[in-house]
Amino acid sequence: MVAQSADLAQPLLKNLQLVVPMTEVPCVHQWMVLANITHIGDPPGFCQLVDFPLDLITWTLTWPKFWNLLLGFALDLREEKQLEVTLEALISQVADLKNSLVSFIYKLENEYDRLTWPSVLDSFALLSGQLNTLNKVLKHEKTPLLRNQVIIPLVLSPDRDEEIMRQTEGRVPVFSHEVVPDHLRTKPDPEVEEQEKQLITDAARISPDVAQKQIQSLNKMCSNLLEKISKEERESESGGLRQNKQTFNPTDTNALVAAVAFGKGLSNRRPPGSGGPVQSGQPGTGPIIAGASGMQQVQISGAPTPQQPMLAGVQMSQASQPGKMPSGIKTNIKSASMHPYQR
């Protein structure tokens, strides 16, 4: 029947070979068996992996026994399949992690002169995310208990092993007694284990009251420390601010706003009645000059012309001095007319 004991509590070997009496299994039941294996949730065709030399008769087997066997076999296969899937996921996660680490190390080694803090943080965030994913895979409910899997070194050799060299990317050249304890280690050093045990027994000896007190004092210390750190932080921040405080000057703000709003401080430089220099003419300054000098001319000529009735009227009503005026007075009018707007 089987190469192993029929006891279902015992795990079955992978290369278990089923040898079933053909006569005992009617055609209909054969199909039932196969259908049940595939029904468990494995991909179609999975049952083909199982080698059923159904025509060989080496053992006699009653139908219920055979059924139980097959079911246990299928369950075992499913577990194995899950282990495989999990291992694949773990390997791909670890590969991702490794790639990120490699690129981060590369960055640190080759771009340290132009590396910015945000980009370092990005790298850290990536690594932490990948570690989280790895943990999730490990804690997934479908992940079989990996601690139940045992790895035994079958062959130790002091010779160079090209295959291992390739798989470890040149990190482990030999699979010898020297490296195996480190690479296949699943527990801490015996010394560390001893210390841990010591600590646990120490902890168990303390009475709850004492423990409570110790917790309280530790919490107090921590909060004190935190407060000190945050205080220091705040001070250095405000110190930094004080240092950089002169980024703007409210007086300047006001001066600039007043300048754009109503030209405060802009026209002061212009000497009163400075029509002269403008009229003397600057060639090549274009229409602005023409406009400006035109305006000055209006001011100075003073006499109301039919072309500028509005402005002349304004000037007259404000000055209430119709008729002839010496040009000096007119200058005053000009500044007087500017004044109310400027103030």
Partner 1 sequence: MEAPPVTMMPVTGGTINMMEYLLQGSVLDQSLESLLHRLRGLCDNMEPETFLDHEMVFLLKGQQASPFVLRARRSMDKTGMPWHLRYLGQPEIGDKNRHALVRNCVDIATSENLTDFLVEMGFRMDHEFVAKGHVFRKGIMKIVVYKIFRILMPGNTESIEPLSLSYLVELSVVAPAGQDMVSDDMRNFAEQLKPLVHLEKIDPKRLM
Provide the minimum distance between the beta carbon of 323 and partner 1 in the complex, in angstroms, as a whole number: 20
**The only residue of 200, 215, 229, 314 in contact with partner 1, by rule CB under 8 A:** 314
Provide the minimum distance between the beta carbon of 265 and partner 1 in the complex, in angstroms, as a whole number: 6
Nearer CB in complex with partner 1: 116/207? 116
Nearer CB in complex with partner 1: 94/314? 314
Is 242 among the residues that bind partner 1 (CB under 8 A)? no
Q: Which of 126-134, 172-180, 206-214, 288-296 is the region at the interface with partner 1 (rule: CB under 8 A)?
A: 288-296
Q: How far is CA 196 from the centre of its chain?
A: 36
Residue span 294-313 as binding mask against partner 1, x where in contact by CB under 8 A, dash where not: xxx-xx-------xxxxx--
Residue span 250-279 as binding mask against partner 1, x where in contact by CB under 8 A, dash where not: x-xxxxxxxxxxxxxxxx-xx---x--xx-
Provide the minimum distance between the beta carbon of 124 and partner 1 in the complex, in angstroms, as a whole number: 22
Nearer CB in complex with partner 1: 146/290? 290
Nearer CB in complex with partner 1: 201/244? 244
Nearer CB in complex with partner 1: 124/262? 262
Is 316 among the residues that bind partner 1 (CB under 8 A)? no
**The only residue of 282, 321, 327, 332 in contact with partner 1, by rule CB under 8 A:** 282
> Is residue 267 a contact partner of residue 338, using CB atoms and an 8 Å limit?
yes
> Is residue 96 a contact partner of residue 32, using CB atoms and an 8 Å limit?
no
Count, residues near partner 1 per rule CB under 8 A: 58
Q: Which of 85-93, 166-174, 201-209, 333-341 is the region at the interface with partner 1 (rule: CB under 8 A)?
A: 333-341
- What is the C-alpha R_g of the chain? 47
Residue 266, both tokens: 């802009």
Cα→Cα distances 198→80, 201, 205, 252, Å: 39, 5, 11, 71
Provide the minimum distance between the beta carbon of 307 and partner 1 in the complex, in angstroms, as a whole number: 8
- CA–CA separation, 77 and 42 (whole Å): 9
Nearer CB in complex with partner 1: 219/249? 249
Half-sphere exposure of residue 229: CA atoms within 13 angstroms, side-chain side: 6
Residue 20, both tokens: 């079933």
Is 117 among the residues that bind partner 1 (CB under 8 A)? no
Provide the minimum distance between the beta carbon of 264 and partner 1 in the complex, in angstroms, as a whole number: 7
Provide the minimum distance between the beta carbon of 262 and partner 1 in the complex, in angstroms, as a whole number: 7
**The only residue of 6, 120, 292, 319 in contact with partner 1, by rule CB under 8 A:** 292
- CA–CA separation, 322 and 316 (whole Å): 6
Provide the minimum distance between the beta carbon of 303 and partner 1 in the complex, in angstroms, as a whole number: 15
Nearer CB in complex with partner 1: 205/339? 339
Is 285 among the residues that bind partner 1 (CB under 8 A)? yes
In sequence order, the 6+-apart residues with CB closer than 8 A to the CB of 84 are none
Which residues contribute to the site for partner 1 (CB under 8 A)?
A: 241, 244-250, 252-267, 269-270, 274, 277-278, 282, 285-296, 298-299, 307-311, 314, 317-318, 337-338, 340-343
